[in-house]
Amino acid sequence: MASTIKKRGYAFNRVLNSLSSPFPNKSANWEKSLSEQAANFYDQQSIQNRQENSVFVPTRAMVRELLTGTASSGGDLVATSILKVADSVRPVTAVERAGVPRIETGGENLTVPRFAAADAGWISEGAVYPSLTTTTTSVDCTPKLASARLSFSRRLKVLVPEVEESVLQEVGRAVAALVEKGSIIGTGSSSEPLGLLNLPSVQTQSFAAATPTADELASMLEKLGDADIDLRRIAFLMHPSTAADLMKARVDANSGALVLNDFEIHGLPVFVSSSITEDKVIAMDPSFSRLVYFGAPQIVIDPYRGATTGATHVQVLNAVDFVCTHQSSICIGSA
């Protein structure tokens, strides 16, 4: 693969301009050549039809394969420019910042192992080893197609060098919001992942009011600890409004200490997402969950739609799933 790569930066706006043209356009031939290599890398088929133009965007996993020399001969230009686009069309979400690992894989499905706790005991001198009782089950991950749709004006095509960063920022915001929503409130039906708030066997904690107290949040930790979850690995997730309320709430009437301070509660990190409903708080060990991406992301544009207005309508497609292998590692608090 590496021997065919030229030393040229990857420009997302150049991709948009080329795909939005109803006529043959060679301005993004470099990016399209990488699209072909992404398709080969993941053995992936495009979903475009005769009315649409599309390209695959290389992933972080491909960057090392795409480098063809030292930094002084242009390798850094290739890597940096591709990574900016790769991180935009597949951005880091709130659940990942909380510690949920990301898996990027090819294929049409992935099976994640799930282990049941084994019995343990002491062995007397000269006694035989006890038989292992660990049982292994699995959780299946299957691709759910996440489509983030954006529209860009005609003027955008003219200001390519100046607005590249702004375009990537807007794409990243839209994709992150969509994937976060699926990971947190996905229903598991209608082609959505099964999100954290809809997992059937999580632990729960009742709040007396919409804004939880420090004691109620501590009770969530107690329940996780009773399930043999390492409390040092716990992270809280909540809506920004809930976080703001907790920043103003006192630990108790006689204390000046705030429940949420420096994005920590009881010494544990707090992450926010507008995808979480305002009356709920999630406490979780993120190591038992996975955010799984299948293949490379794809950009799809219909060059004929919006032709009279000059708008470019873009779809950023990601095949993604969210799974949890141990639902007792999650506690949902709500009023």
Task: Give per-residue pLDDT as tens, 197-238.
Answer: 999 999 999 999 999 999 999 999 999 999 999 999 999 999
- Distance between CA atoms of 14 and 253, rounded to whole angstroms? 59
Nearest in space to 299 (alpha carbons), one of 48, 46, 26, 55 = 55
Report the chain's C-alpha Rg in angstroms. 24
What pTM did the predictor assign? 0.87
**pLDDT top residue among 117 and 236:** 236
Query: Which residues are 300's β-sheet partners?
Result: 54, 315
Q: Give me the helices (H) in the chain, please.
A: 12-19, 29-42, 60-66, 75-89, 94-97, 154-158, 160-185, 214-226, 240-248
Nearest in space to 283 (alpha carbons), one of 267, 262, 299 = 267
pLDDT tens-digit series, residues 180-193: 999 999 999 999 99
Residues contacting residue 269 through CB under 8 Å, at least 6 positions apart: 98, 235, 236, 263
Residue 1 DSSP symbol? -
Percent of the chain with pLDDT over 90: 55
Nearest in space to 143 (alpha carbons), one of 319, 289, 297, 298 = 319
- Distance between CA atoms of 77 and 291, rounded to whole angstroms? 29
pLDDT tens-digit series, residues 5-29: 455 678 888 888 888 888 878 888 9
Q: Which two tokens stand for residue 245?
A: 């309320």
Judged on CB neighbours under 10 Å (0-12, 13-18, 19+), 85 is: buried
Amino acid 128: pLDDT: 77
Answer yes or no: are the C-beta atoms of 91 and 175 closer than 8 Å: yes
